[in-house]
Structure 1
C-alpha cells in the first residue's frame, strides 16, 4: 500500500482533505482513494468537491496540478520560542536592529557569547511579525554539526518535507519563493560554511524573504548587513543593573537602594555581559552581594549555573569552551597570549608580546582580525589607531589557558619588557597627546609591575618600572599613586632617592606625616652620609613648616634630635649646610612665635638671611626658594608685611621657569599659598585673587581640592564675592571629605572666612556649620586668635554691633603676627568710632603708621576718620579707594554708612 504524503495542508484544508489532495496529485481515482483510506466513494467525492471550492481549482486536473506543487508552510505562523524570563531594556539596540532588518534582507547580529544576541533578535522578530504575513520562523542551529545539514534544519523548523526528485536544499527556496517571511537563524558561527551558501541561494530565489541571523562571527557574504550587539548599558540606572535586579528577584533576593552603586560596579566588572550578570545574580542566595564582589577575580569559577537545556549557557567557562572549539591552533595561542593585556592594545603591542614560537610575528595581525571576527576581541577605533580588547571573562579564560600551555612566564615576561619600553618612551616624549597615550597603557603598566614585584628574579625590572610609573603618575596628576609607586620602588631596591621623591610628592598632597616619615626613612637608607644630613634636616623643616598638615605631630623633642644628628653628618658639604640652616630657621620660627619678643624676631631674621646666602651659593633655585620661605616668615614676624609680600612674589617668579617635578611642585604650591596670604595681608586683593586662582587651577591638586581652593576662598570672602565663596566652599568640603577629613589647622582661616560670609547673609545655620568645620579641622583657640576676631568683627559691624566688635578686637593675641593684622587694627578703629569710644581719635592716630601701605586698611581708617568728624563727603570719597583695591563689599558698606545706599 502506498504511503500518504505527510506534507502540511494548505490554509483552511482539513487533515483528511490534505490526504485526499495528495492522492489526487498521484492521479488516483475516487475508488482507489476510498479503498486506501477506508472511506466510501461518495465521501471521497464530497471532499474533492470541497477541495475544488477551497483551492479555486477549475477541475480535477487543476486540483492534481496544485497537489503536485512543492509543499508549502501551512499558514502565517510566528514560530518563535516563548521567553522564559522577562526581556530587560535594550531599547536603543532593539530600535536599531529593527531598522536594520526593515532596510536589509540579510542582517547578522554579531557579538561575543553570552552578550544577549538571541534574546535581542527574538524580541525584534516578535516586533516585526506583522510585517511578514507569511510567517516568522526560528531555527536553532546549535544541534547542527554538519554544515551540509543547515537546509534540513530550516526545513524542519518551517514544516517542510522532502519532495520526490527535489533535494531539501531546493525544496526550502521553492516553498518560500513567493512568501513574505522572516527566518531567524540562531547560532551560525560553527556552521557558517553551510549557512552562507544556503542564505545566498534562498535570498536569490525568494525576493520577499528576509534573514536575521545571530553569530559570533560575520558570515562574510557580500549582501550581509552586520549589527554588532553591544554589552548591556552600564551608565546610571542601566540595563545591566535592571537585569541584575530582575534575576535577583527571581531567586528571592531584593536589591536595596543602598546596594545599587555596588551592583553597578559589579556589572561593570562583568563588562555588561548578560549571561555573566544572570549567573552572578543566581549566586546571590549562597554568596550574598559581598561574596559576589569578592569572587569576581575568578569569573570562571564563580559564574556557573544550574541545569540548562543549552549546555553552553550553564557557565561562562562552557560558553568559552564552545568559542574556543571554533579556533585553529595559531589563533588559540594568540588568544591566550594577548590575555596578558588588561587594557585595549594595538597590533604592534600584540606582536611584541605574543609573536614567539610557534606563533610567527607575521601571523599576529591576521590572527587578531580572525579573533575579532569571532567576537572574541572587540575592535576600538581611536585617534591613536586601532586597538583590540578582550572582555574580562575572556581574558581570565585566556590566562587560564596560558598557564595550562606552560606559556605564562614567557608571555608575561615579554609583556613586562613591552611595558618598560612603553613607560620609557612616555617619560622621554613631549606633552602633545601624552595623557591619552599614558591612559591607554597605564593599567598594563600597573599589572606588569604587580606581577614582576612578586618575582625575585624580576625585582630590578620592577624597580625600574615603579620609578617610571611614579614619575608618569605624578605628571598625570595622580599624585596619590605617584607616592605609592615611589615607595614601592624604594622597597624593591632599598633606594633612598625613591624615598625622597615619595616624600616630596607626599608634601604636595599636604600629607605632613607621610613626608616626615619618608624623609627619615631616606636618611636611614642613606646611612652616615651628607645625603643623610640633608634628609634629616629636611625632615626637621617639614615638622615645623608643614605642622598644620600633620594628623598627629610627633613629640616636640624629636626634630631637635634629628637636627643635631644632621649637623654631625653635614661636615663641610655646602648643600647639607644649607639644609641645616633652613632647618634652623624653621625651628627658630616656631620658637619665635611662641616667645613673641623682638630679640626672637631678630634671631629669626639673621638665620633666614644666612639660609638665603648659603642657598644662593649653591646656584639651586629650589634651595633658594626654600630659604626665601624662611625669609618671608622672618619679615612677617618683624612686622614688615610689604617686604614679605615682595619676597613671596619673588619665590613664584623663581619657580616659574622650572619643569614641574615633585620637588618644584611642592615649593610652587607653598609659594602660591604664601603669595596669596601676603597679598591679603597688605590689602592687595587683586593680586591675592590672582595667586589664589592659579593655586586653585593647579591640576596636581585635583585630589586636594580643599587645599586648592583655600586661599581664593579667603580672598573672595574679604573682597565680598559671596556667590563665588559659597560655590567654592562646596569644592573645599568635597576635597576635604575625599581626603578623609584630616586635621589641618592651617586651613582654619578658610572655614572662618566662609562662616563670616554666611553670617553677612543672615544664614546663621550655615554659619554654625562652618564654625563646626573649624573645630573638625583641629583648630585650637590659640590658632584661631590670629584671624577669627577680624572675621567676627566684620560680621558684627555689618549687623550694627560695634561695641561687641570692639570687644572681640580689643584683646591681645596671635593676631599681632597674623595675616589679618592690618585688617584687625583698622577694623578696631572703625568699631571704636561707631561705638562712641572716648579714645577712638587716639586709637586712629596710633594705628595709621601700623597700616601704612595697605590700601584697604588705609581706606578703612580714612572712613573711620570721616565718620568721627561727621564728614559725609569724606566717607563717600573712600568708596573709590575700596573699588580700586578690589573690595566691593567695603565699597557698598561705605555707601550705607554715608546714608547713600
Structure 2
C-alpha cells in the first residue's frame, strides 16, 4: 500500500486518514499520542510531496481502491515451506523488477520452480496481475499461447488466433507472467515470447528452463545447487531437516554431521535431498548412508547431461531400486500420463502382468508415500501426478523394460475411449471432465501421429479432439485438429475433415481460412474420385468469397473465383447437391455484381432475386438445412436490393426455423450465428424491436461468443437504443468496448452501428463529450464510410431532433432516399424516411406533406416508423388527439422513448408526463419546439 520509504506506523496513519478520521480519532485507534499522529502526518506530507491533509486522504483512498481492485496472484499454493535461497531470492526479485524477461536456468531438480514461485509472491504487489503457467502438459510448441490464455483467463476472439487474444489482453497491463518448465517446448516458447514482449511493453516474464531461450530482452539467472557449507546451518541441511521432520521423525542434533555428508554426496540438489529425507523415517542415517554407498552411482547420461543432472538420475535410480518390482512397474507405466490421473485410469493403462490391476490402488499409495507421486484431491476424485523429472525418468525405464510401445498403446486406447465417451456426454461437469484429460488426449495424439502403423488411430483421435475442442469453445484448436485429421486420413476422409475445419474457421470469422480449406477439400475430394463433392467444395469456396467478404484480409481476385465456379459447375453436373451448391454460388456472384452496379435497373434486382429463389428451391430438395439457410441468406440479401424490407426480414426469420433441427456442429453453429445476427438486424429494419431483442439476446447468449461480447451484443445495443433504454445500453457499452479493444478493434457494419447507437444514447442524455468519444469509435469500427450515411444519418437526426436542432436534422437527412439507396435501403430505410418526414414538419419545410406521403407508402407495416409518420402528420395538421394516439402506438411497439417524446411534442399538460417518462429511461428532457 505504501512506498518503500514509509514506515509501518506511517502506513497505518495514512490508511486512517483515507477514512477521514481526525488526529484524535487516529491516536485513540492506534493507542498513540495526538502529537505523535501530527508528527507522522508531517512526515507523510514531506515523503509523498503532497500539499495538505486533504491530499493525503485522497492519496490513501486511491491506494486502497487500487489494492482492492488488484486480483490476487494466480500462483499455486506451496505444500511445504520454502527453505533457503535467501540471497538468490532477493537477487531474482530485483532482476524481475528491473528486466522484462528473466530466465532461471539450472538442471532438473535444482529448485527452479519453487524459487520462481517464492519470488513471484514476493513481488506480486508491484504488478496488477500475476499468473503462473506450467508448461509440463504441453507437448506441442504451437499450444504455448493456449496454455497462457487458459491461465490468464483469455478466450479466443473471432477473426484472431488465441496468441493474438493473449497479446491484446496483456497489451496495457503491468503484469507478471511465470512460465515454468519451458525446456520441452522451447521452440514454441521463444517465438511466442518475442511477440508477447514486443506487444506488451509493461509486461514482465519470469521463466524456468534448463537452457536459455535466446530471445530478445532475456536476462539469464543461473541457479546453482543449494549451499552445502556451514555445517548444520547450510541451506541443504536445513531443507533435509525440514522435509525429514515432515514425515514424522525429525533428526536430532547428534546426526547433523551425517546429514551434512548425505547432502554433500547428493550434490546439493533439492529434489535429491527431498527424496532422501522422505526415506529418513524408515531407513535412518545408517540406511541412507548404506544406500548412498552401495546403490547411488553416477550414471552416464550422454554428452548433454551434466554432473548435477546425473546426480538427480542417481537418486531416482536409488529410490527406484528400493521399490518392489510391482511398484517399479507401476512407476514407469504411469509416467505416460501428462495430467493428474485417477486410480481407475492407472489400472487401465498400467494394470497388466506382472502387475495385477487390483494392486494398482495400493501401489499408487505407496508411490505417493515415497514422494514419487503427488496426490491431489479434486471434484472428480483423488488424482495422482508425477513430477516432470520423475515422468522423464519413468519413460526411460519403460524403454529399458521394452514396454514403451505397449504402455503408450494402452494409453492411446484409454484416451480414445475417453474421448468417445466425452463426445456423447453432457451435464454441468462436462467441461471439467474434458479439461482433466485434454492434455493426455493431445499427448497421445502427438505420439500416434508420428507412427505410421497408428495413423488410423491418430486420425480418429484427432477428429474426436476436434469435436471436443469445438464444444469446449477452443475454436483455434478445433480447426487445427480437423486439419491434422485431414493430414492423417485418406483423401475421402480428409475432404470431410477439411470441410469441418472450414466451418470452424467460419465461426472464427476467418474468411481466408474458409476459402483455403474449402478449396483444399475440393482437391482432396477430386483425388478421391468424388467429382460431385469436389464441385460442392469449390462452389462453397466461391460462395464464401462473396458471402463473407468482410471477414477476409485479402479478397480473392474475381477472375480466380469465376474460374473456380466454372470448374465447380462442370464437376457437379446435374447431381442435386452439386446443383444446389453451384446455384448458391451463382446467386452470391450475381448479388455482388448487382451491388457494384448500385441498383441502376429493376431488371438486375429481379435477376438477383430469381437466382436466389432458385438456390433456395434446389437447396430445399437436398434436405440439407444448412444449405437451405445459406440460400435463404442469399435471398434475404437479394430482397434488400429491391427495398422490400419485410421480405428481407421474413427470409431471415425462416433461416432460424430451418436450422432448428440441426445438431450443434461447426457448420450448423456457424450458420445459426449468422442467421441470428441477420434476424436481429432485419427485425430492426421493420420496426419489430421485441423480435430484434429476442434474436439479439439469443446471439449474445451463444457460448461461442462468450469471449466476443462486441459481436454478440451489437444488435442488442441498437435495439435498446432505438427503444431509448439508456441504462441497458450504457450497461452493455463498457463490456462491448472492452471486448472490441481486446479483440484487436475489428471492423464491420454491425460494430459501427452498435457504437453509433451508444453515441446516440449519450446524445439523448446530453453528454456531448461521451457522444464525441463514441463517434470516434464508430470511425474505427466500421468498414466503409458509406454505411455511416445510413445508420449515421438516422442516429444523428434522432439526437438533433431531441435537442431541438430541427434545421440541422433536416440537413442531415436531406438526400433523397433513391440517391443514397445503397446506404439506407437495408436496415435503415424506414427509420430514415420517418425521420425525414418528421424533420420536414418540425422545420416547416414546404415539401413536408409530400415527404409524409412518400414515407407512408414505404413504411406501412412497420409499427414504429408508421407511428412516427402518423405523428408527423398529426403535428402538421395540428391534430392533438392524433398525436396522443401515436403515443399508445409507440408503447405497443416497445418504443418508450418515442412515446415520451410524443407527450413532450404535444405540450401543455402532457409535458410533465413526457419529461418524467424520459427521466425514467435515463434520458435528458428534449428541447422546446
* TM-score (structure 1 length as normaliser): 0.68
Q: Does residue 254 of the first structure (1) align with residue 262 of the second (2)?
A: no
Change in CA separation of 1:816 and 1:423 when aligned onto 2, cut-off 3 Å: same
Q: Are positions 1:305 and 2:221 aligned together?
A: no
Higher relative contact order (CA 8 A, sep 6+): 2
Please report how far the alpha carbon of residue 536 of structure 1 lies from its aligned counterpart in structure 2 after TM superposition: 1.0
Asked if residue 361 in structure 1 is aligned to residue 360 in structure 2, the reply is no
Deviations 1:28-73 (A, max 9, x none): xxxxxxxxxxxxxxxxxxxxxxxxxxxxxxxxxxxxxxxxxxxxxx
Q: Out of 626, 631, 642, which is 2:635 matched to? A: 631
Q: How does 1:585-624 map to 2 (within 5 A)?
A: 585-595=587-597, 596=599, 597-624=601-628
Q: Deviations over 1:490-548 (max 9, x none)?
A: 12235111110010111122222211121111112222711111111111111111112
Cα deviation code 1:574-611 (max 9, x no counterpart): 10110010111111111222221311110011111111
- Write the distance in 1 (CA, Å) between the matches of 2:86 and 2:860: 73
Give matches, 1:221-620, under 5 Å: 235-236=73-74, 250-251=90-91, 253-254=93-94, 274=114, 277=117, 294-295=182-183, 301=210, 305-308=225-228, 309=234, 310=236, 311=263, 314-319=268-273, 322=276, 324=316, 325=319, 327-382=323-378, 384-392=380-388, 394-399=390-395, 401-402=397-398, 407-429=403-425, 433-493=429-489, 494=491, 495-527=494-526, 529-595=531-597, 596=599, 597-620=601-624
Structure 2: runs of 5 or more not aligned: 1-70, 123-175, 187-207, 212-222, 229-233, 237-262, 279-315, 916-929
Cα RMSD (Å): 3.5
Inter-partner Cα distance in structure 2 for 1:492 and 1:410? 22
- Stretches of structure 1 that go unaligned for 5 or more consecutive residues are 1-232, 283-287
Q: Aligned equivalents of 2:736 and 2:209: distance in 1?
A: 44
Instruction: Find 1:795's aligned residue among 799, 812, 834.
Output: 799
Contact 1:551/1:743 (CA < 8 Å) preserved in 2? Answer: no
- Secondary structure of residue in 1 paired with 2:355: coil
Counterparts of 1:820-839 in structure 2, within 5 Å, are 820-839=828-847
Structure 1: distance between partners of 2:102 and 2:766? 41
Q: How many residue pairs align between the two structures?
A: 661
Give, in angstroms, the shift of residue 476 of structure 1.
Answer: 2.2
- Counterpart CA distance in 2 for 1:475 and 1:769 is 38
Distance (Å, rounded) in 2 between the aligned partners of 1:237 and 1:599: 67
Q: Secondary structure at the match of 1:779?
A: coil
User: Which piece of structure 1 moves more, 380-389 or 419-428?
Assistant: 380-389
Whole-Å separation in 2 of the counterparts to 1:270 and 1:578: 65
Q: Deviations over 1:442-486 (max 9, x none)?
A: 121112112322334433222211111111111222222211211
**Separation in 1 of the partners of 2:800 and 2:97?**
46
CA deviation string 1:161-203 (max 9, x = no partner): xxxxxxxxxxxxxxxxxxxxxxxxxxxxxxxxxxxxxxxxxxx
Q: What is the CA-CA distance between 1:356 and the residue it aligns to? A: 3.4
Please state whether the residue corresponding to 1:786 is helix, strand or coil: helix
Residue 261 of structure 1: CA displacement?
12
Residues 151-190 of structure 1 aligned to structure 2 (within 5 Å) = none
Question: Are 1:681 and 1:819, in contact at CA under 8 Å, matched by a contact in 2?
Answer: yes
Does the CA contact (< 8 Å) of 2:181 and 2:209 recur in 1?
Answer: no
Residue 771 (str. 1) matches residue 775 (str. 2): yes
Secondary structure of residue in 2 paired with 1:388: strand
Q: Per-residue deviation at 1:412?
A: 2.4
SS in 1 for 2:643: coil
Residues 270 and 313 of structure 1: CA distance in aligned 2, closer, same or farther (over 3 Å): closer
SS in 1 for 2:661: coil
Q: CA separation in 2, counterparts of 1:687 and 1:263?
A: 56
Q: Please tell me whether Structure 1 or Structure 2 has the larger radius of gyration of its CA atoms.
A: 1
Give how far 1:824 is off: 0.6
Q: What secondary structure sits across from 1:787 in the alignment?
A: helix
Partners of 2:449 and 2:780 in 1: how far apart? Answer: 40
Query: Does the 8 Å contact 1:548/1:746 carry over to 2?
Result: no
- CA offsets per residue over residues 406-438 of structure 1, 9 Å max, x none? 544433232112111111222244557433322
Does 535-544 or 350-359 show the bigger shift? 350-359
Distance, in Å, in 2 between the alignment partners of 1:801 and 1:414 is 77
**Range that drifts further, 477-486 or 398-407:** 398-407
- DSSP 3-state at the match of 1:848: helix
Counterpart mapping for 1:840-879 below 5 A: 840-879=848-887
Task: State the Cα deviation string for residues 92-128 of structure 1 (Å, max 9, x = none).
Answer: xxxxxxxxxxxxxxxxxxxxxxxxxxxxxxxxxxxxx
CA distance in 2, matches of 1:276, 1:375: 21
For residues 78-89 of structure 1, what are the structure 2 equivalents within 5 Å? none
State the secondary structure of the residue aligned to 2:634.
Answer: helix
Structure 2 distance, partners of 1:773, 1:564, is 42
**Distance (Å, rounded) in 2 between the aligned partners of 1:235 and 1:609:** 58
Partner of 2:651: 647
State whether residues 786 and 823 of structure 2, in contact with CA within 8 Å, keep that contact through their aligned partners in structure 1. no
Q: Aligned partners of 2:85 and 2:898: how far apart in 1?
A: 58
Instruction: For 1:730 and 1:245, locate their aligned partners in 2 and report how far apart those are by CA, in whole Å.
Output: 46
Give the drift of 1:239: 7.0
Task: Write out aligned runs for 1:86-165 (5 A).
Answer: none
> Secondary structure, in 3 states, of the residue corresponding to 1:775?
helix
Residues 366 and 534 (structure 1 numbering): CA distance in 2 closer, same or farther, change over 3 Å? same
Listed one character per residue, the Cα deviations across residues 623-668 of structure 1 (whole Å, up to 9, x for unaligned) are 2222221222222222222222222222111211221111111111
Superposed CA offset, 1:713-732 (max 9, x none):
22112222222222323333
Distance in 2 of aligned mates of 1:761 and 1:260? 45
Residue equivalent to 2:892: 884
Structure 1 stretch displaced more, 700-709 or 658-667 = 700-709
> What's the secondary structure of 2:384's corresponding residue?
strand
CA distance 1:338–1:638, shift in 2 (3 Å): same
Q: What is the CA–CA distance in structure 2 between the aligned matches of 1:733 and 1:714, rounded to whole Å?
A: 14
Compared with structure 1, are the counterparts of its residues 259 and 692 closer, same or farther at alpha carbon in structure 2 (3 Å cutoff)? farther
